[in-house]
Amino acid sequence: MSRRQAREIALQSLFQLDFNASSNEEAINHALEHTKISSGDCDYVNLLVNGTRENLEAIDKMIADKSKDWKVERMSGIDRNIVRLAIFEMNFSSDKLVPNIAINEAVELAKKFGTDDSARFVNGILGSMIK
């Protein structure tokens, strides 16, 4: 499994956690139900989900500061969690990603899981954060 696939599982887990009162572990296990991954990749999924959730307040504040016309809670659940995941990887992770890579990965997730406008929206929010 690649880091991109680990991000997909993390995104699915974060999306579930946004709408259901379950634990991080339950959400991750549900997302992994039909996927075979290595222990290293599983560790990365855990890092992404747990780290994003632990820093959620700070991450959402960063999003709110850059998205003047959109309240975080009014954003599409997929878009919101893609942006949260990318911000975690750029700013909070012990294994920080270079902003260009984090944005590219987020845009690819948006193309796969979001609407026709998601990639542009995600790119705009994240791009404004690195300027």
Report yes or no on whether pTM surpasses 0.75: yes
- Does residue 12 surpass a pLDDT of 60? yes
What pLDDT, on the 0 to 100 scale, is given for residue 67?
76
- Determine the average pLDDT of the residues in 40-65: 92
What pLDDT, on the 0 to 100 scale, is given for residue 64?
86
Closest C-alpha to 49, from 96, 91, 17: 17
What pLDDT, on the 0 to 100 scale, is given for residue 66?
78
Architecture of domain 3-130: Orthogonal Bundle (1.10)
- Determine the average pLDDT of the residues in 80-90: 95
- Does residue 36 surpass a pLDDT of 60? yes
Asked if residues 88 and 63 have their Cβ atoms less than 8 Å apart, the reply is: no
Ramachandran area for residue 59 (φ above 0: left; ψ -120 to 50: alpha; else beta): alpha
Measured CA to CA, the distance from residue 94 to residue 88 in angstroms comes to 10
- Determine the average pLDDT of the residues in 52-57: 96
Amino acid at residue number 48: L
How would residue 39 be classed by pLDDT, with cut points 50, 70 and 90?
A: confident
- Does residue 1 surpass a pLDDT of 70? no
Q: At what angle do helices 24-32 and 39-54 cross, to 10 degrees?
A: 140
Asked if residues 87 and 129 have their Cβ atoms less than 8 Å apart, the reply is: yes
